[in-house]
Chains A and B, each alone.
Chain A
Amino acid sequence: MTAEMKFEDALKKLEKIVSDLESGDLLLDDSLKKYEEGVKLAQFCSKKLESARRKVEILVKTSSGKLEAKPFDESVLEES
């Protein structure tokens, strides 16, 4: 797993920040900080969504017994 923040953690944090801000009892400085952080988190989430790429692979056992990911040919399925 990457050391990068997980999407759901970012989303949860963002949710928390929004509700904190909406509760309205923050100092202005804190509000601004939270706002900035919130915008960053939202950007992170959007980026994460956009950076996902489609790749379908299938695990194949090699002769040595190791598992290897190979591209999966979906067209085979459409014919069946």
Chain B
Amino acid sequence: MSPIKPTETERLIYSVTQLTREIKVILEGSFPGVWVEGEISNYNLHSSGHIYFDLKDAESVLHCAFFRNVNQNIKFELKDGLKAICFGRVSVYDRRGQYQLYIDKIEPKGIGELQLAFEQLKQRLEKQGLFDSAHKVPIPILPSRIGIATSPTGAVIRDMLHILRRRFKDLEILIYPVKVQGDTAAQEIAMAVEDFNRLRNVDVLILARGGGSLEDLWAFNEEILARAIYNSEIPIISAVGHEVDYTISDFVADLRAPTPSAAAELVVAKKEEFIERIEGFLIRLKSSLDNAVSILENRLRDLLESPAFKYPFEKIELYEQRLDDLTKSMDRNISHTIDIKSEKFNTVIGKLEVLSPLSVLTRGYSITLHLPKGDVLKDTKGLKRGDKIETRLLKGRVISEVKEVKKEDVK
């Protein structure tokens, strides 16, 4: 404290600077390290990297300065409205005659620093579309080679290799050794992602780390890694911590595995399952072809059994029958006509017969001719003994020799 006790009569006049310095000494002496709680307002990140803001409560305001060399390690984002607990020293900014809190440390109130940082980054990246499912790439079913970025020592890689061998004994695995904890871890893992994308020698990449505290897993919550995962063209499985641990990497990755061991199970199906599946397909292939053939066979059989094939002459026979019918009826008509005509004819013939000389013969008469001339004999004139005559009967002829000629009638 200053030894000078000024009064109105003993005039001791300070320069502004002197007085300010005195005040500064007093303040710095009284509050070399103090915790203050309040709400951030007028937050201002200067281009120099220094941060200025006011810490306020219902009645008062405290100016705060948070310089670059100390504010760089802060994980979460400061912004207006955030309730914070700050640690620092109180001093005076000479040029403005303003006392302020020079902050060494700041933490969010009511929530862990990392938890807040996680929530803030998650929100920000989500808004930027880094978690969009449309951006995610499907994991290949049977990767020809699997990349694993993890610590090359310890249980995690051992368990993963063990599971991979058990599920699918023949697989190619390429390990990219990285630190999975500490300040450089996020950068190293991000580089692994970028290197694999340059090399293009794996079909899928697993980022793995065993369980641990939020701080232990922090590398997987850093933006640099989140961006590397987002930009990766190789599908990435994030396998960090235990089942309950969610990291930013999990959200950005194409697939989240609850644990590294689970990632080993997710990345490739059991070999037997593949074989079964392919065999199943083969069986279905064969049976569906058999089906198709038997359907066609049935159709063919139906066709062959159709009347057209089975009774190919049916139509023809039908026509033939009809033709027969027609012929028959025609015949009938014709013979009827003929009958009528022939009856008429017979009648005429009958009449004719009555007139015919031949009809006399039917009644037992005969005609006698004088041979050799063949003149019909009506009397005995010119006929003498020894002449030859021919007698014509109804049927047949008789040649005779005349024995005796009598001039008188038979009567």
Q: Do A and B come from one complex?
A: yes
Chain A interface category by residue count: 35 or more
Interface residues of B in 294-312 (CB under 8 A from A): 295-296
Residues of A contacting B172 with CB < 8 Å? 52-57
CB nearest to A58 among chain B residues: B175
Q: Which of B140, B169, B175, B275 contacts A46 (CB 8 A)?
A: B275
Q: Is B402 an interface residue (CB 8 A)?
A: no
Contact bitstring B137-152, A, C-beta under 8 A = 1, else 0: 0001110100000001
B contacts, CB < 8 Å to A: 140-142, 144, 152-155, 157-158, 161, 165, 168-177, 195, 199-201, 271, 274-275, 277-278, 281-282, 284-286, 288-289, 291-293, 295-296
Contacting residue for A14 out of B141, B200, B281, B292, CB 8 A = B281
Chain A residues with CB below 8 A from B155, complex form: 80
Q: Do residues B285 and A59 form an inter-chain contact, with CB atoms below 8 A?
A: no
Contact assessment for B200 and A1 in the assembled complex, using a CB-CB cutoff below 8 Å? yes
Collect the chain B residues with CB atoms within 8 Å of residue A57's CB. 172-175
| A18-B284 contact given A53-B172, A55-B172, A67-B195, CB 8 Å threshold | yes
Query: Which residues of A have CB within 8 Å of B291?
Result: 22, 24
Residue pairs across A and B with Cβ atoms less than 8 A apart, 6 shown, are A11-B141, A18-B288, A21-B285, A49-B271, A54-B169, A57-B175
Q: A17-B285, A42-B281 are in contact. List 10 more A-B contacts (CB 8 A).
A: A8-B142, A18-B281, A21-B289, A22-B284, A26-B292, A32-B289, A49-B275, A52-B142, A52-B171, A74-B161
CB-based nearest A residue for B139: A8
With A42-B278, A49-B274, A67-B195 known to touch, is A24 a contact of B295 (CB < 8 Å)?
A: yes
Majority secondary structure, B binding face: helix
Chain A: which residue is nearest B282 at the CB level? A42
- Tell me, rounded to whole Å, the shortest Cβ–Cβ distance linking A30 to chain B: 9
**Docked pose: A76 CA to B161 CA in angstroms:** 13
Can you name the residue of chain B whose Cβ is closest to the Cβ of A24? B292
Give Cα A46 to B154, complex, Å. Answer: 35
Whether A6 touches B170, Cβ cut-off 8 Å, given contacts A22-B288, A74-B161, A76-B153, is: no
Interface pair B288/A49, CB less than 8 Å apart: no
Among B153, B169, B278, which residue has its beta carbon within 8 angstroms of that of A77? Answer: B153
Taking the closest CB of chain A, its distance from the CB of B314, in whole angstroms, is 30
Q: How far is the CA of A53 from the CA of B201 in the complex (A)?
A: 15
A74 to B175, CA, bound (A): 11
* Chain B residue with Cβ nearest A67: B195
Q: Give A25 to B50 CA distance when docked, in angstroms.
A: 74
Contact (A55, B173) CB under 8 Å given A38-B281, A49-B142: yes
The reply to whether B175 and A35 contact each other, CB–CB distance below 8 Å, is no
Q: Closest chain A residue to B195 by CB distance? A: A67
Among candidates B170, B199, B275, B285, residue contacting A35 with C-beta atoms closer than 8 Å: B285
Q: Nearest A residue to B142 by beta-carbon distance?
A: A7
